[in-house]
Chain A
Amino acid sequence: MGREEVLQLEELAVKIRKSTLTCLSKVKAGHIGGSMSMVELMAVLYGKVMRIDPKKPQWVERDWLIVSKGHCGPAVYAALATKGYFKEDELLTVNQGGTSLPSHCDMNKTLGIDMSTGSLGQGMSSAIGIAWGHQYRNRDNYTYLILGDGECDEGQVWEGALFAPQQKLDHLIAFVDCNEKQLDGYTKEICDLGDLRKKFEEFGWDAQECEGHNVEKIVKAIERAKSVKGKPHMIILHTIKGKGCSFTENIYYNHHVKFSEVEYAQAMERLDEQLSTIREMEV
């Protein structure tokens, strides 16, 4: 990857961060922590990796994305808007009555959402079923899955973890957005997940770890995953909950956050500064 492309993806990530906050700016509350920690992954998937056509959201041979941590819908909507699935203005309707952009991902309401999620653990199985369906039809498209690390408390994740290698689903690429926190605090203090990479490896996955806010490293991890045949892939992304949002990054309870107009303005200002810095580097 050239430096220019890296900067473009970093710029896209900041734009997605801004749009994620825009999504929640009307109701001034939302699942900001987990949305912000997966922004670089969104930028990589929608900015470079995924084979998609926003004009044909139902194209069956597209790459599919299942966001099992469905409460992070706003980050996905922000990414979808940048690709033109719908107009940026629509982001302002998030979580308001009649919206097509509900807090949790809904495939029947939002263009570009490939599976309804929200009850944690379930996207794991849905993604496996989707990858299985494509493999059955001999399609070459990839199925991407995003889990939260707190979500890995769910037994269903580990049912799927056993099942997917048995089916040799090597076009399934999963990520754990490992921000080390869940709603009530640090995962280590609530239900310690131990070494997730080793656990998935033991379950038969091709597993690797990666800095989750480094777009270049995420791209490389995905490329490496694609080179391993016969196994599903797991990429543990080490991230920071609330990353890049000035009023969420350094607070303890940052799963679902309420914010003021002033906090919103300050956060957007900081992100604009980041954008300017990246653009200067691009020049």
Chain B
Amino acid sequence: MARIGVFVCHCGTNIAGTVDVKYVAEEMAGEKGVIISRDYKYMCSDPGQNIIKEYVRLYKLDRVVVASCSPLLHERTFQNTVKEEGLNPYLVEMANIREQCSWVHKDRAEATAKAIELIKMTIGKARMNEPLFPKRIPIERQALVLGGGISGMQAALDIALVGHPVILVERTPSIGGRMAQFDKTFPTLDCAACILTPKMVDVRTNPNIRILTYAEVESVEGYVGNFTVQIRKKARSVDMSKCTGCGECMQKCPSQVDSEFDLGLGKRKAIYTPFPQAVPNVPVIDRVHCRFFTQGKCQVCQKVCPAEAINYKQEDEVITEKVGAIVVATGFDLSDPNTYSEYGGGRYKDVINGLQFERMINSSGPTEGHLRRPSDGKEPKTLVFIQCVGSRDENLGRPYCSKMCCMYTAKHAILTKEHIPDAQVYVFYIDVRAAGKNYEEFVRRAIEQYGAMYLRGRVSRIFEKNGKLIVRGADTLSKGQVEIEADLVVLATALVARQDATKVAQMLGIPYDQNHFFTEMHPKLAPVENVTSGIYLTGACQAPKDIPDSVASASGASVKVCALFAHEELIADPMIAEINPNLCSLCHTCVDICPFSAILEEEVQRPDGRLRRQMRVIDGVCHGCGACVASCRPGAITLKGYTDQQIYSEIESLASCF
């Protein structure tokens, strides 16, 4: 007969506000097998945990039921609590009377009755609990970092510093990411390139880091400590071992196309590096635009290359690597400025977005740092910046704040005035959000020292009249309509998740939110971890983040990777599926249904020496979701910790309530 202790938590007023916890605890005392039942204000606190420990010791409890919050939050906490008293952690069960009860009900009597039912069910299950023992799995101590922007680079450097090998995979021909496109950075106005390019060199020269640019991860299999990834190295058409980076080929290449790096404001060649400080400084041939690949003749680059590095026959190469942890640093996209019909919807050349402004004012950009109207090349004198374009907009299904636009717009205002002192700058804003170290001061500088005119209100329409852009908006502080004749309009367009973020998430098996940003394990207490263990998040793939935040989260993720790599073995959760070969008919239904590819058929030798085929669940890959259990016709699969007996016992307990 089990000796069960029931511990009911108030969670301050979170539970006690709606559920009569004292009464619930008293009611539970009479349940079959319950030796002791009591309540406490915060069960998860130190004194709360001490109560559990004391009672386990005093009453020789062998099952513990904690009625509190979701097991997602505190199951681990209470498992560790009982472990200290020598009890197997899997003999703890949690009844969720917060998220699934007190938070969603208003009526005290009904919520209390429901809490009782929930706890009775849990007691029923706990009665049938068996001790479970985790398995040990070896860890491959090499990390993969996805994305070579500032956060991916920082993560790679931090992990490499501890001595672990890192593979840094970047989709474009160079590492550097968005930061390489910026001119100056807020709130210090130091030049982005001056702080970024040395870091890029650090990454390149670090012996522990292997950079794979112009490459994409194609598949990820396995589990924490033991991922197998396939990486496609796209054909560069340039031999990396021979190329000296002299740039002769790029000068002589006859085909020009719009530069992605300059967002269409400048041109690049068909053989190119995205920017002069690229790492690696080895160009790629864009086969879609190369004359040789499209028309069959040209080959100028091959003729001029002194190192004979051009290789038109190069093919994509797919390599397989084993890694123990993956850091996702895939970054963000900007929403398409052409979709905002009130701002011209792409009809006006002189309506640009913040990143285009950044390229224009960058001395290595397409206009060599001179502000010019894209339409006629004239220097703009009146500039209007519009914030929250596409952000904080329920109509577009994008209610979130893009976070850094307030700051970069203030920076743009300052830079404009430094480049063109007699320019007049207007900024339309909803609220100025400058909550960072020295951020508010920076915005005040833009307004007070540089004379940027901040107008609180939305712009309703932009239209062209006599070669000027008329910006019509509301100034809600003076309660009037304003019309500004602008030469250049800069839209702070929303930061959005990468276009293929959902595909990447599916490949990695990680969740994403309604805006397609990847979801961390806990928004406050596990901000870089992921529910898929072994995968960590950093940078703006998670939510809009500026440079300081991206770097900080990168270092955070690196610490988590290094903590994982601190051990040679991993202790795996034992609550996984198990197949009884004596009942299994080898029908493979479970193989088809398993979302994690955790089940395989193998040949084993029986004690009598004969070979026999049977199914096996791979420890560490199985997540314990139970899909195979439900699908198994002969009932050969058991989910440890959720056996049929445990579930039946739960149901019986519930039925006995009515």
A and B from one complex: no
Interface residues of A (CB under 8 A from B): none
